[in-house]
C-alpha cells in the first residue's frame, strides 16, 4: 500500500485508504519541489532554526483538524509515551513512539531512512506511531507499542499496521552486528542488505498483529521526493511521519 501525494504547498504523502476505512490521518512529509527543501529537522544541521520553524508552522497550518501535535527527541530506544491531550507543538525528551485515543491530537516522529510504524485499532479507536531504525527494531519497539495499546484494551489481532516510507533492503547494506541484532543470518562476506520493513512485518506476525502492509517507497532511491540520511552521507534534512484520529 503506497502513500500518495496530497495536493497543496506543503509536501505531504498520505494513506487515503486509512482515512476512509478508519477515520485517521496517516502520512509523511516530503522533500518538496522548491529550491529550499521542506526540512523539518529540529537539530539545526541543514537550515537556520527560524526557517525550520517557519516550515513547521506551514505544516501545522495544513492540518487544521489537529490543534495539538506531539514529538520527542528520538534516541533509537523503545520508550513509547501515552498522550491524553496536547495543545500547540509539544516537544518531549527521549522517546521513540507515541500513542493516544484522543481525536485531534497528532502524533509525530522524525525520519530520514528509519521506518515509521503506524498502528491503529479501529475497534478501540486507539493509535500509535513508532520510530524504528535497526536498533529500535532489534530492541522490540513494536512489541512495546502493542503492549501500550494493550494496556488500553487493544488486542494485536485487531490492530492494523503499516510500515511507512523508509530505506529499502537493496539500499541498506549493513554489517554482521546489525543483522545479528535483528535476528537475521549473516552472509559469508559479513555484510548484506537489511529490509527493515520485512523484519518488522515478521515481528508483527509473531506478535499476532491482524493486518500488516508496507510502503513500496524508498527514501534513498526515491530521493527526489524524500530525505535520506544514508543517501546524502548524513547531510540531508528530516521528514515528519504523522498519525492522528480525525475529530
Q: pLDDT averaged over the chain?
A: 93
pLDDT at 50: 82
Q: Quick one: 50 exposed, middle or buried, by C-beta within 10 A (0-12, 13-18, 19+)?
A: exposed
CA pair distance 60, 69, nearest whole angstrom: 8
- 7, pLDDT greater than 70: yes
CATH no. of 4-245: 3.60.140.10
Once rounded to an integer, what is the mean pLDDT over residues 219-231?
A: 90
For range 193-206, the mean pLDDT: 95
Q: What predicted TM-score, i.e. pTM, was given to this entire model?
A: 0.96
Block residue for cell numbers 476512509:
20
Residue 34 has pLDDT above 90, yes or no: no
pLDDT value at position 11?
A: 97
- Position 59 scores a pLDDT of 97
Per-residue pLDDT reduced to its tens digit, 135-175: 999 999 999 999 999 999 999 999 999 999 999 999 999 88
Which grid cell sits at 3? 502513500
Residue 147's φ and ψ, nearest 5 degrees, are -65, -40
pLDDT at 110 over 70: yes
**Residue 46, pLDDT score:** 60
Q: Is 60 exposed, middle or buried (0-12, 13-18, 19+ CB in 10 A)?
A: middle
pLDDT of residue 45: 60
Nearest to 125 by CA among 95, 104, 96: 104
Amino acid at each position: 500500500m503506497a502513500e500518495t501525494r496530497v495536493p497543496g504547498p506543503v509536501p505531504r504523502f498520505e494513506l487515503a485508504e486509512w482515512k476512509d476505512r478508519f477515520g485517521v490521518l496517516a502520512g509523511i512529509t516530503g522533500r518538496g519541489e522548491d529550491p529550499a527543501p521542506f526540512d523539518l529537522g529540529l537539530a539545526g544541521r541543514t537550515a537556520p532554526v527560524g526557517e525550520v520553524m517557519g516550515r513547521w508552522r506551514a505544516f501545522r497550518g495544513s492540518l487544521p483538524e489537529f490543534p495539538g501535535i506531539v514529538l520527542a527527541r528520538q534516541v533509537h530506544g523503545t520508550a513509547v509515551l501515552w498522550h491524553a491531550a496536547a495543545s500547540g507543538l509539544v516537544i518531549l525528551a527521549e522517546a521513540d513512539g507515541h500513542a493516544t485515543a484522543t481525536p485531534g491530537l497528532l502524533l509525530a516522529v522524525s525520519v530520514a531512512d528509519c521506518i515509521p510504524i503506524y498502528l491503529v485499532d479501529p475497534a478501540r479507536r486507539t493509535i500509535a506511531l513508532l520510530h524504528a531504525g535497526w536498533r529500535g527494531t532489534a530492541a522490540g519497539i513494536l512489541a512495546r507499542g502493542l503492549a501500550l495499546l494493550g494496556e488500553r484494551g487493544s488486542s494485536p489481532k485487531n490492530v492494523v499496521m503499516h510500515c511507512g516510507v523508509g530505506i529499502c533492503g537493496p539500499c541498506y547494506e549493513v554489517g554482521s552486528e546489525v543483522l545479528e541484532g535483528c535476528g537475521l543470518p549473516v552472509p559469508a562476506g559479513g555484510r548484506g542488505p537489511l529490509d527493515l520493513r520485512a523484519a518488522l512485518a515478521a515481528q508483527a506476525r509473531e506478535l499476532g498483529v491482524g493486518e500488516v502492509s508496507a510502503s513500496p517507497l524508498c527514501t534513498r532511491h526515491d530521493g527526489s521526493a524524500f530525505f535520506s540520511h544514508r543517501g546524502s552521507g548524513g547531510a540531508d534534512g528530516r521528514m515528519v511521519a504523522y498519525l492522528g484520529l480525525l475529530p
